[in-house]
Structure formats: C-alpha cells, structure tokens
Structure 1
C-alpha cells in the first residue's frame, strides 16, 4: 500500500498532528483509462492526489491541465463546491482521496497550507497550469513574511481632529487610512468612512474620535503574508494595521499584498531602479532565477515567461551599463542583446550574447571603450551569465564597432555568404536594444534591408540552414533518439526549435518585418498572407510546447546540479508528452517543407 508523501507542497507545511489526520483519512482508489473522476457541476467531495497514472482536466474536448505523480486536483471545486470541467483518466490511475471536510479544516487551522489553496483559486488556469511545483521556490513565496513587503508608514491624527483635517491629511500624505489616537487607544479612519459621514449627515467639523474604529484588525510584522491576506478576506477589509511588539508600525493595503503574490516581478524592477552598486545587483539577478522557477511551477507558459525574463534582464543589463559606462558613452552608443535573448525567447541563463554600436562621433577612443566593455562582461559573469564560448560579446572587437564599421560588416555578411557570415548575421538579425541611443540600431537595420534588396542569392543561402538538422521523427511517427553511454536522447533545439526560429527569421528578413520575437513574426506573417493561417497556428503551438518542454527539463537538470541543455530523454516523458512531442515535430516537418518550397531549396 502506498504511503502518503508529505514532502510535496502544500502537505509539507502540515504539523505532525495535521499529518496524522491526513494519513488516517487518506483512502486509495483506482480508475481505469478513460474513466471519469469528476464531472462538470458534480459536487466535489474529495481532493485527489495522483499516486500513479495521468488525469486530464477537460473543457469539453480541450485539455486544459494534466495531473501526474504527486499532483492534486481540484482545489477550485473544493472551494466552489463543483468544477466547470471534466476530469478524466488518460493513463490508468491510482489516486489518494482526502475528504473535503478535512481539507477545509486544514485551511482553517494552517495559514501556510491555506495560502496554497487561496492562490490556486485566484489564478487563471492554462494548459500547463498544474505542472509540478518546484518546492523550494514555492515555499519561499508561501512563507514570505509581512516585513518583506514595504507597508505604508502610518499617519496619525489626534481624536479631536475633524473630518476636514482627515481629508487634508489623506491628500497631503497620499494615503487611504489614518490612525487616530484618543484616550490611550488607537483607532483607524479610512476613505470608506467618508461615505458613512455623508450618509449620516455629519459635517466636516465632527471629531474623528466619534467616527474612528478602535477595534483594530492587526497582523504582526513577522506573520505570514498569506495570513494577512486571509485576515483581510475573513473580515472583509482592505487593509490591516501592522504591529511590532504590539505597537502600530505600518498599514498593509490589500492591493500591495496582492501585487506581491500576483506579480512578484514588480519588486525586482523596483530593486533594480534603487540599486546603486554592481555587487547589489547580484542578488537581484538571482531573484530573476527564482521568479522563473515560481512562475513556471504555477503554469506560466514559456513564451510569456520568456518575454517577462527579457524585460527584467534588459532592465538588469541597462542598470549595470549605467553603473559602468560614463554618460558620454551611454549617449553615443547602443547596447543590444542578440540571439534568443534579443528575440525574447531565452528563459534560463546560458551565456552572454550582446554587442555595442558606437556612434561615429563618440568622444571616447575605442581603447577606452574596450576597457569599459570588458568591465561590463565581467559584471554579467558575476550575475550568472558566463562568457559566450563563441565570443559573441561586446568585450570582443568583432562585436563592438562604430556605426560605419557595423555597416561595412553587414555588407560583408550579406554579400560574402560564408558560413560564419550566415551565422553572425542570424545572431545579429534578432538584436534588441536595451540601453543608450536606440536609433543607432535602427540605422544598422536600415542598412541591412537596403543590402538585402540588392542581393538575389542571399535568402537562398540564408534559409538553407533550416534543413541543416534532421527532424527526429520516423516514418511511422516514432521519435528518433541518439544513444550515447547507454542513454537515448534527442535534441529539442536542432530537431525542432531552430528550424522554426530560423525559418521565421528568414521570412521576417525577406519581408522587412521589424519584429524580432518568433511568435510576433508568426502573427504578422500570417496577417500579411505570407504563411498559411493554419500552419502559423500550428507552428505557434508547436514552438510553445517545445520551449516549455525544454524549460521543464532544464529546471529539472538545474535542480540536481546539472547544466540545462537541449537534450531530453524521451523515455522519461509521459505518454501524453511523447504524443505531443510527435505532433510538434510533425508540424516542424510541414514548416520545413514550406520553407524549402518558398526559398527553392531543393530536396529535404
């Protein structure tokens, strides 16, 4: 008989007594493949935890979530009473059942356990919403303390102050609540109380002592954030008074608290703005890594997560550049990121891919600039971005040039289509400006478009790279892997991601599209009729799945101390994942065939 695994969230935060309750109440049920566990509108009596097998959450015929070993479902149904979706068994499943009454009891008694369910109810579920949660990162989020969120400093007025004084103080201090001192007590007066003042017909001269609420709803500064949120929810209030050793030290607004949990990234952005030294940027860079783990564990899709990471990385790089480069260089140059970072498709940190475009009239010499760029590359290394093995970094002469020199280089790349020229141009095509004078990058891209218009053979050579790697899909739909040291693997990048990305890059260059992100390129190409709409939609879904799968496998590798890579072991995938991977590679084959025909590349 299987034993309940208390190492998985949220059960890992239960007390010994609560664990005993769960162990006694847990029952095991078996469902064959195709069976329905929970129907829409059916009363939810249990929380289910998967021991083995796969269960799918279905919105009619669309799969919106997949549950595997140690995943639990359906917390929304437990809170609401029923689920709008159907839960069906994809692979025969063995499940733990925990009574609804027990789960509600634990929610009532354990604030951190309750936080897990509260957050789940609040989130929008997508197709990958129930992927395995990375335990340490989730615990960091769920066990955050009130002192980690900057509470608003309290504004005090005496009890004999009037309603008019309250209005003036709120406007002056830009707050929505005031603490009122009266007869050695402390009360609270909020913007909502103005409504009651008007309805009761009071004038502006009424003393606040008659209107304030002296039964304060408080939370300790060292309490859990989610406990504060549940306190607000329980009392139907929008703020609590934060106390330290019994004394009011702040007011925690619901909007600030919800922002912390729903958008942890805004805190990173604020810290970047306030940081005044390079060493202080190191922990901020580490927080970006933690954010990736948290959001991925909560079902954020790879394309959306990548764009968020691109934004935060861009802010990090720009802040570091501001701290390193003198103002005259910043004003006369453009710092750009390249490759997948430039496309907004890089999530996990790999290596540096960047360049610097220097204005022709920059007052600094190239020797002086080289010292600055070297310092910048060393700083990125400290942030967790190691040097690029291929040397694609602004600290190298080949990637730090004046506008005129860049224009000459672009001409050579287009008209002398050597292998390294094609590769370098592909990297630069995805350039995205993060700091400095962005018009300098536009000048280079304009030169590139002009050169392409006069080169008939360029696209034939450039697009041929799409056919460089075979798609690992056999005649009968089997996945083709390569065995080395007894381990059978396949390469997601070579087999699927690169052909899609590079084919879209070639089309974007041909039609002079300014977009650098592959998904954005797909959208515009379909809108302009350059790619068939159904193929574009299929490519979108296939690329999204491939990037998500690579991210998941990368996080698993990093979790055991191994480097993230593009290699995966098909045997470690679930049946559903393998089927989806086959479908994705089938789309890649169709897309490659379309590119081959479009650019007249000959046989596959």
Structure 2
C-alpha cells in the first residue's frame, strides 16, 4: 500500500535518480508511524542517522520553541544534521498522524556525492548549519560547494613530536593561538585537539606533564588535497565526525581546513564589500558595488535564504551606500550644510524589509531656522536634487509617486514636519492616506538622530491619542482581500499580462504590514521592522504568543515567495513584480499559502473587532 518505489519515482529530487538506485533505496529504507503530536527528534539531539521523507501526514519543525517550517507529503528533513554531521538544529513534531520513510545516513551521503541533482538540492539547504552566531546572511553554498579547498584561507599547521609532554604541546598551541596540533610519531602523523586534552586528560584527572602527545592523538590523520572541492571536504568531515581536515599540496601538509574557515571566507567577502563602499571615491564606484550587491542578493534568494535576513542585508548595504552618497554629494557641492539635518528612508526600506522591486522612498529633515533665514532651504534644495540624481546613477529608480527628498513635500524642517504630520492625522483622506502609510515607518539613515527621534516622539503621541485615526488606519488594513475564493481556491487575474497570477503584496504582505503597524502605533512602539513589531506586541501582551508566532511565520512565508518569484524574473531578464503564479508552487506550498491567508484574515478580524470597524467599512 505504501509502495516506496513508486512514491520516490514521483517525488522530487528522488525522481531524478536511476531506477536501480530507487529500487536500492526502497529495499533499505525503514518505515515508521508517528501519531499526531508525537516528537520525531528534538533540538540538540545527537547527529541523526536517517533522512526522513514524509510519505503521509505533516510535520512542523521548531527551533527555540518557534515554528520554523511546515512540511507535508513528499518533503524531507534531517539533511542538515546528516550533511553537517551536527546535532539536530530543530525539533520535529508530527502535526497529524504521519508515516515516514527513513533513508539510512550512509545511503543518503553516497547519493548526494554521486548525483548532482540531489547534491544541488540538499547542499543549498546545508547553509542553515554553517552560520555565524546570530548570522546576518546565509552563505551562498552552491557557489562554495564548487570552490577548490586552496581558495579558502587555511589555519597554519603546528607540528609537535609524539614524545613531547602534553604540557609542552598546550604551551605551543596557546602561543600560536591554535586549538589543535599535528603529532609526529615516526612516519605516522595524527592530530590532537583542545577537546581531546579536556576530555581525555583534564576530565579524567591526569597530569599533562606526565602524558605524551602520542598517547591521546588521533591516528591516522584525515587529509584532503588542496585541489579537492569544498563539498568533498564537507562530506569527509561528516563521514568521520570531525571539524578539521589536514590539507596537502604536492604531498606536503600546508594547512588545516576548519568549518569556521568556510564561514570566515564568505563573511569577509561581505565585509570587504562594505569597506569598498566606505572607500568609494565616485558615484561610478558605488554603482559598480551596488550591481554586485544586487547579484549577491539574487543568489541568496535562489538558495532559499531567510527572507527576514535578506531584507536586512539589502537594507544594511543600501544604508551604507546612501551614507556614502551624502558624503560625495556634499563634496560635489563644495559647501558644508548650514545646519544639522537627517536623511530618512521610508516604506519597506524604513522597515528593513526590502524586496528586489525597490525605488527611492526617502525624505529630509533639518533643524529649525529663524523665519528670515533661507540659507538652509536653499542649500537642501540643491543638495536634494544632486542626491536624488546620484542615487539614480547608482541604480535606485525614482519613486513613481515622487516620494523623494528632491520633492519639497518630502523636505522640511522639524517644525514643518510636525505641522505636516498633524495635518495628515487630522485629515485622513486621499493622498494623505498614502503618505501616512509610506511615512510612518521612517528610519534615520544619516545625520541627526535627535531630529528623527523628536519627530517620532511627536508622531507616536499624536497617533496614540487619536482613536479615530487609529481606526481609520485599521480600516485600510482590513480592506485588502486575500486572493482566496469561497471554496478556498486561489483568485487570479482572468486576463492581461498577469493572467493566472495574483498580487501577493496586496493580498498578503500589505495587510500584515499595515495591521501590525496600527497596533504598534497605538502602543507607542518605536520599532519599524514588522517582525520586531510583532515580537514586541506579543511581549506587551497585545497579541497572544501563539498568534505572534503564526504572524511571523505567515509574513516570512509571504516575503519568501515574493522574493523568490522576483529573483526568478530577474534571472530571466524581466522586471520584477509582486505577482506570483500559484500553479508554479508545489502542492505543499499551495497548502501552506492557504493557511497563511487564513492568518491574514485572522489579523483583519482582530482589527475589525478591536477598532469597531463596522463604522468605517
């Protein structure tokens, strides 16, 4: 009835395997039943021994008690632990009665080594395991997987003799700043690590002066050639349950490859990028750097990077570029600003939730001046025109609605901004509504933060004291219609350029952004990022912990789909949009998307009830 052979033939990526391989897998896999609510494995468990494939049912993966992934029939999990040979990074729980096919680790490792389709599929996901603590961006692993080991900066080798005492070895390791040493014992070479010393000597109460290096070293040394691919090195680490490999070049040990060296390689590339921005001497330099940043962002997205982190990555780099543009623009003018000022970024940039379809949404605030002193107004008029043109040259397209500091509507003194905000709040209609939705996520990217925070303080007080305006904002979020029909089918465009597609921004992203924003403004939450706002709302008891997790998961899923489809359009040479085709999604993704839209509707119902929107709708 379960027929694993037929099932694997119809399930990606196993459907790419030769028939004889599928037969071999089918005859060696195990079948296990889990009842609803039963735990399959827990976060921090010893390295897993199986790849789990869902034959029937559903599984949720949790990390730090947060839901991080929902899996359905045909999905697989456990590969992170298998490929990285690490403890399990999450807890897996059956959310309904579930049947799992369990493929033994040796078979799985052989398959990813021998078959490129499986290797590409699973190594793209392995990047979850190789991160910095609180990592800011996932590593472009497919690129690294095909990189020769010699391209990675290696730790230098330290050799000691097997007859040396451990106390002498420890002293040498400390002097060199290393956590390991190679041990020579005749013709044999082994390795001794900091962990070996702690576990085999200190923990057992032995005196390091009385123990020889060869007594606790591991023989033989596990080695790899400098011309081997990084992917082969990682498989070797996984196979032997180690974190270091000796690297030989023309027969000589030239260094040590550690898993942290892989992290260092990619992170230094990003650091160099940021340093290049700071050193840029012209707008042309910045334009070149920005084109590289955009390419990297597309690569990260196609590799399945966390959409929250991608948004932050794009925004952080954009911030650095804008800061450098300010410096170059002032230098270009040949005159310093006559007073303190600040550059504000608005909308998704202000929230650090950038997509690949972006334009200039910015504003300028400057210190109040005496009424007859027009020097600041004149200076910032010229500055703003030059600044906007420079961003255009770099690759930031103009805002179709003119929300740019070159537009005098978006360039004011603090006092003028306060009056403007008061007018928007007291007269919420037409263009004022659009302006509010863009402006109220503002964030200072350059200059006087005191001006920015004084304006924010006024906005929060004015809005939180105005229940009618809050209800108006809530009504805007509740008006969006999720693209689901009465029978839970997707509602798509019937004709035109986007036939068969729907707008995921209007149908899912904006209702969450605007709904969360109004709750945050009511409670004077200063944060602008939607994820951070959701967490703070939960912390303050405005929404339940359960609903907070659901909202985060829903928003992350929507952002991920949006970024993925935009990246695909860019790769095809098309202009990215906010439209997606539900038929291009897997069955599991379509199922999750429907659940996500249900969470959006739950938020909208909360807003209708909380703000009594029957009077506004």
- TM-score of the superposed pair, with normalisation by structure 2: 0.68
- 8 Å CA contact 1:55–1:67 kept in 2: the answer is yes
Q: Which residue of 1 aligns with 2:147?
A: 144
Q: Which residue of 2 aligns with 1:511?
A: 523
By how many angstroms is 1:141 displaced? 3.1
Q: Which residue of 2 aligns with 1:256?
A: 261
Aligned equivalents of 1:48 and 1:227: distance in 2?
A: 23
- 8 Å CA contact 1:27–1:98 kept in 2: the answer is no
- Counterpart of 1:431 (choices 421, 438, 442) is 442
Aligned equivalents of 2:504 and 2:421: distance in 1?
A: 30
Q: 1:250 to 1:500 in 2, by over 3 A?
A: same
**Secondary structure of 1:64's aligned partner:** strand
Larger deviation, residues 384-393 vs 214-223? 214-223
Deviations 1:456-477 (A, max 9, x none): 6433444332244434333444
1:306 maps onto 2:311 in alignment: yes
Aligned equivalents of 1:87 and 1:456: distance in 2?
A: 41
Aligned equivalents of 2:431 and 2:242: distance in 1?
A: 63
Structure 1 alignment gaps of length 5 or more: 13-18, 31-35, 126-133
- Counterpart of 2:399 (choices 379, 388, 391) is 388
By how many angstroms is 1:342 displaced? 1.6
Aligned equivalents of 1:540 and 1:511: distance in 2?
A: 19
Aligned equivalents of 2:391 and 2:325: distance in 1?
A: 8
Q: 1:512 to 1:245 in 2, by over 3 A?
A: same
By how many angstroms is 1:246 displaced? 6.7
Q: Which residue of 2 aligns with 1:269?
A: 271
Q: Which residue of 2 aligns with 1:542?
A: 554
- 8 Å CA contact 1:335–1:356 kept in 2: the answer is yes
Q: Which residue of 2 aligns with 1:226?
A: 231
**Aligned pairs (5 A) from 1:119-130:** 123=128
Task: Give the count of matched residue pairs.
Answer: 563
By how many angstroms is 1:137 displaced? 6.3
Q: Which residue of 2 aligns with 1:15?
A: none
Larger deviation, residues 559-568 vs 370-379? 370-379
1:334 maps onto 2:335 in alignment: no
- 8 Å CA contact 2:464–2:524 kept in 1: the answer is no
Q: Which residue of 2 aligns with 1:64?
A: 70
By how many angstroms is 1:201 displaced? 6.0
Q: 1:451 to 1:242 in 2, by over 3 A?
A: same
By how many angstroms is 1:102 displaced? 6.0
Structure 2 alignment gaps of length 5 or more: 35-39, 42-47, 131-137
1:419 maps onto 2:430 in alignment: yes
- 8 Å CA contact 1:57–1:64 kept in 2: the answer is yes
Aligned equivalents of 1:376 and 1:150: distance in 2?
A: 39
**RMSD (Å) for aligned C-alpha atoms:** 5.8
Aligned equivalents of 1:336 and 1:496: distance in 2?
A: 26
Aligned equivalents of 1:385 and 1:189: distance in 2?
A: 53
Aligned equivalents of 1:520 and 1:414: distance in 2?
A: 24
**Secondary structure of 2:500's aligned partner:** strand
Deviations 1:391-449 (A, max 9, x none): 22334433333333333332332334342222222212111233333222101112223
Q: 1:245 to 1:521 in 2, by over 3 A?
A: same
Aligned equivalents of 2:174 and 2:243: distance in 1?
A: 19
1:524 maps onto 2:536 in alignment: yes
- 8 Å CA contact 2:224–2:247 kept in 1: the answer is yes
**Aligned pairs (5 A) from 1:285-304:** 285-286=290-291, 288-289=293-294, 292-293=297-298, 295-296=300-301, 299-304=304-309
Aligned equivalents of 1:488 and 1:542: distance in 2?
A: 23
